[in-house]
Structure 1
Amino acid sequence: MGPTAPTDWLDIEHFREPIEVNLIGLINVTINMLPLVKQAKGRIVNVSSTGGRLAFCGGGYCPSKFGVEGFNDSLRRDMKAFGVKVSCIQPGLFKTPLTDLEKILKEKEVIWNRLPPDTKKQYGEDFTDAAKKEKLTKACLNTDISLVVECMEHALTSLHPCAHYVVGQDAKWFWTPLSRMPAGVQDFLLLRNREEPAVSHRK
């Protein structure tokens, strides 16, 4: 997943790893297997995220998943002529090691401690304490990972697989509907979940 933090806390290496693994790695595996998949008129099932529809955090994770969505859409259209069905799984937030809030906050704290004093001053020393609340993330966590597996099974075995599988109550009733709303509505709801930097209150 890589660290999730405000963009101006990060450097290019924080973005590189999640993009290399989640996007470049996925593309590399896919294109190397394509000749065999086309020959067999098989299926391709890639895993994106609701973070590929709506950037709910800073860092490399959401850009990598937006890339997966774009790659998967173009691949699906390219493969139609060869009888290859392409699906994309879009899970919401599930309780896994990736969403371990304690680990996420520790990564964020390490980055915070390395920031220059001017940046810390802009955000305010109490910014990281406020970030520990993460109310929305806690409220949205799904615990039944079998829902994702069931979608994968359907995509692989059903006569008419879906192009997209939206998985999890949070994905169906919050993230996906929010991704279709105007940017102003998205910003208002997502920013309510986090403390604003101290600088935003100054003229």
Structure 2
Amino acid sequence: LWGLVNNAGIAIPSGPNEWLNKKDFAKVLDVNLMGLIEVTLNMLPSVRKARGRVVNVSSVMGRVSLFGGGYCISKYGVEAFSDSLRRELSYFGVKVAIIEPGGFKTAMTRSDTLPSSIKMLWDQASSEVREIYGEKSLASYLTHLKSLDQKCNEDLTLVTDCMEHALTSCHPRTRYSAGWDAKLFYLPLSYLPTFLTDAIFYWMSMKPAKAL
């Protein structure tokens, strides 16, 4: 086995952390992180024998955490697992690459599924949390999600080209940024001082009704 590409992932449920419970986090982590680790560990003997490649699809959300839930946590985990794996497998001639796509139009960004998921999280949240955040925050969140897929890039070849390069080039990169939003916004944002990044997200994000 020359190349393993781990691309499977889910984003639902995601939302403000206080709207979720432990099972909501575990559902995403089980697929995006633990599933990736399990597949990789099972395939490693074959990849190592071929002195091949492992390509793990992370996300810009593995560099900058935009929202709560298991998705960003899982992508940070993919980054950490990939880094440790790359260093360990370098002794055997196996190369490990990470792909960090920006916003692309896939099943994870469908405007017909995300709002209903958020509404379910809102309904399961405690009465105290619903009072703190308020109905206006929920409405603002839903409006944003309904237009999310329109803001996403439809050209998935930007991602698959990265996969191809990581698998076939003599000198694959350690990390690939796919999409202009990844290259020009999220990647630079990840290098800013934390207080600046926090300030940017503070002004961009949904505000709870009872915020200070």
TM over 0.5: yes
Match of 1:175 among 180, 186, 196: 186
What pairs with 1:93-172 in structure 2 (closer than 5 Å)?
A: 93-134=103-144, 137=148, 140-172=151-183
1:133, distance to aligned residue in structure 2 (A): 3.6
Tell me by how many angstroms 1:194 deviates.
Answer: 2.3
Structure 1 alignment gaps of length 5 or more = none
What CA distance in whole angstroms lies between the structure 1 residues aligned with 2:182 and 2:103? Answer: 8
Q: Is the 8 A contact 2:13 2:28 kept in 1?
A: no
CA contact (8 A) 2:56 2:97 kept: yes
User: After TM superposition, what 4+ stretches of structure 1 lie above 6 angstroms from structure 2?
Assistant: none
Equivalent residues of 1:142, 1:169 under 8 A apart: no
Question: In the alignment, is residue 199 of structure 1 matched against residue 207 of structure 2?
Answer: no
Letter in 2 for 1:45: V
Give me the whole-angstrom Cα distance separating, in 2, the residues matched to 1:85 and 1:144: 27
Name the aligned partner's letter for residue 166 of structure 2: A
Match of residue 72, structure 2, among 33, 37, 62: 62
Q: How far, CA to CA, are the matches of 2:149 and 2:56 in structure 1?
A: 26
Distance (Å, rounded) in 1 between the aligned partners of 2:158 and 2:207: 35
1:12 to 22, 33, 37: 22
Number of equivalenced pairs: 201
Amino acid at match of 2:119: E
Structure 1 letter corresponding to 2:161:
E
Q: Is the 8 A contact 2:13 2:69 kept in 1?
A: yes
Structure 2: which 5+ runs fail to align? 1-10
Identical counterparts, % of pairs? 43
